Amino acid sequence: MLSYLHGYHAGNHADLIKHAVWLAVLDRLHQKAKPFTLIDTHAGAGCYPLTGEQAQKTQEYKSGVALLQGWQPVHPVLQRYLQVLKGFSERHQYPGSPLISVSQLRDADHLHLMELHPGEHERLRTAIKQNRGNGHTHVHHRDGFEGAISLCPPKPNRGAILIDPPYEQRKEYDAVITAVKQLLKRWPQAQIVLWYPLLSQRAGDKAGQSEAMCETLAALQHSVLQAELRVDDPANDAGMYGSGVCLINPAWQIDAVIDDMLNELTAQLGAAAQSSVTWLNKTD
């Protein structure tokens, strides 16, 4: 079942934490001249019109990227994020993770994008053609976990994996755990950024699944850093009251970078927004 379309959610608070943390990871990869490989297991359509029917139906971007308009952040990663957003905002678009990654590639870097939905995959191909950057971008029409596992360890074997499934079905949480274990077996030093939703009791049997998934990942023999952004009280909300990312094998001292960055971001999102950064496991 592939019914999820990210166009309904593009530029919402979940995209903000996910894309800002992803840029913080890329920022650290840039600190060495050695090339890197990026793998995006659930790439989506790449670029989303905020004036389009999907975004207008939910208007989720209004409590997300729309609040960043005209903002001049102090944090260097947030400055970079705003710089990436600028060209797209001018066209009333929001760039998905593929175009954010493309914007950061250098000539010898590689980016692999996996998208299974036929329509979204076609839109992704078009978005990549229209927004060519440096480096080598490969678009795959295949299952993101199967594709990523088969590419690992990639060449160059320095880099990061973004895992951003739609979590439409409860079994996707277990699929993430299985895939992460296999990815780490093949590419033990991969930096993995895994996004997950924070769901209230109104989400039924999916409530508590993210927390259980993070706990299982924390028991693996790897460092795991958790960063979360909450925008609502779980008692009030309609389902998703925030979201988070687990960083597996995070770069040295990136916890302080992400903490500072999220503090500045939450201040811009309004009084209800709160962030936290926590070590779930620290192996060194």
- Does residue number 18 form part of the binding site for ligand SAM (CB under 6 A)? yes
- Does residue number 49 form part of the binding site for ligand SAM (CB under 6 A)? no
CA dihedral 209, 212, 218, 219 (to 10 degrees): -130
- Least separation in angstroms between CB 18 and ligand SAM: 6
From the candidates 164, 237, 255, 284, give the one annotated as an active-site residue. 164
C-alpha distances (whole Å) from 117 to each of 3, 8, 222, 226 are 9, 15, 32, 29
- Does residue number 42 form part of the binding site for ligand SAM (CB under 6 A)? yes
Q: Binder to ligand SAM among 27, 122, 143, 264 (CB under 6 A)?
A: 143
- Least separation in angstroms between CB 26 and ligand SAM: 13
Contact status, residue 135 vs residue 108, Cβ threshold 8 Å: yes
Count, residues near ligand SAM per rule CB under 6 A: 19
- As beta bridge partners, residue 196 has 244
- Does residue number 64 form part of the binding site for ligand SAM (CB under 6 A)? no
Distance, in Å, from the CA atom of 102 to the CA atom of 218, rounded to the nearest integer, reads 30
- Does residue number 6 form part of the binding site for ligand SAM (CB under 6 A)? yes
- Does residue number 60 form part of the binding site for ligand SAM (CB under 6 A)? no
String of b and e for 143-166 (b: at least 16 CB within 10 Å)? bbbebbbebbebeeebbbbbbbbb
Distance, in Å, from the CA atom of 127 to the CA atom of 35, rounded to the nearest integer, reads 24
Residue 56, number of CB atoms within 10 A of its CB: 13
- Least separation in angstroms between CB 56 and ligand SAM: 18
Which one, of 245, 265, 177, 198, lies nearest residue 25 by Cα? Answer: 245
- Does residue number 144 form part of the binding site for ligand SAM (CB under 6 A)? yes
- Does residue number 43 form part of the binding site for ligand SAM (CB under 6 A)? yes
Locate 257 and state its tokens: 């970078």
Q: Binder to ligand SAM among 66, 116, 177, 280 (CB under 6 A)?
A: 116
Stretch that binds ligand SAM, among 2-10, 24-32, 128-136, 247-255 (CB under 6 A): 2-10
- Least separation in angstroms between CB 181 and ligand SAM: 17
Query: Which of 115, 255 has the CB closer to ligand SAM?
Result: 115
Query: Which of 115, 228 has the CB closer to ligand SAM?
Result: 115
Positions at the binding site for S-adenosyl-L-methionine: 19, 42, 97, 115, 143-144, 164
Which one, of 43, 79, 57, lies nearest residue 12 by Cα? Answer: 57
- Does residue number 114 form part of the binding site for ligand SAM (CB under 6 A)? yes
Distance, in Å, from the CA atom of 203 to the CA atom of 20, rounded to the nearest integer, reads 26
Query: Which of 142, 282 has the CB closer to ligand SAM?
Result: 142
- Does residue number 164 form part of the binding site for ligand SAM (CB under 6 A)? yes
Contact status, residue 67 vs residue 269, Cβ threshold 8 Å: yes
Name the E strands within 42-167.
47-49, 93-95, 110-114, 136-140, 159-163
The reply to whether 164 belongs to the active site is yes
- Residues at the contact surface with ligand SAM, assessed by CB under 6 A: 2, 4, 6, 15, 18, 42-44, 96-97, 114-117, 120, 143-144, 164, 166
Catalytic residue numbers, as ranges: 164
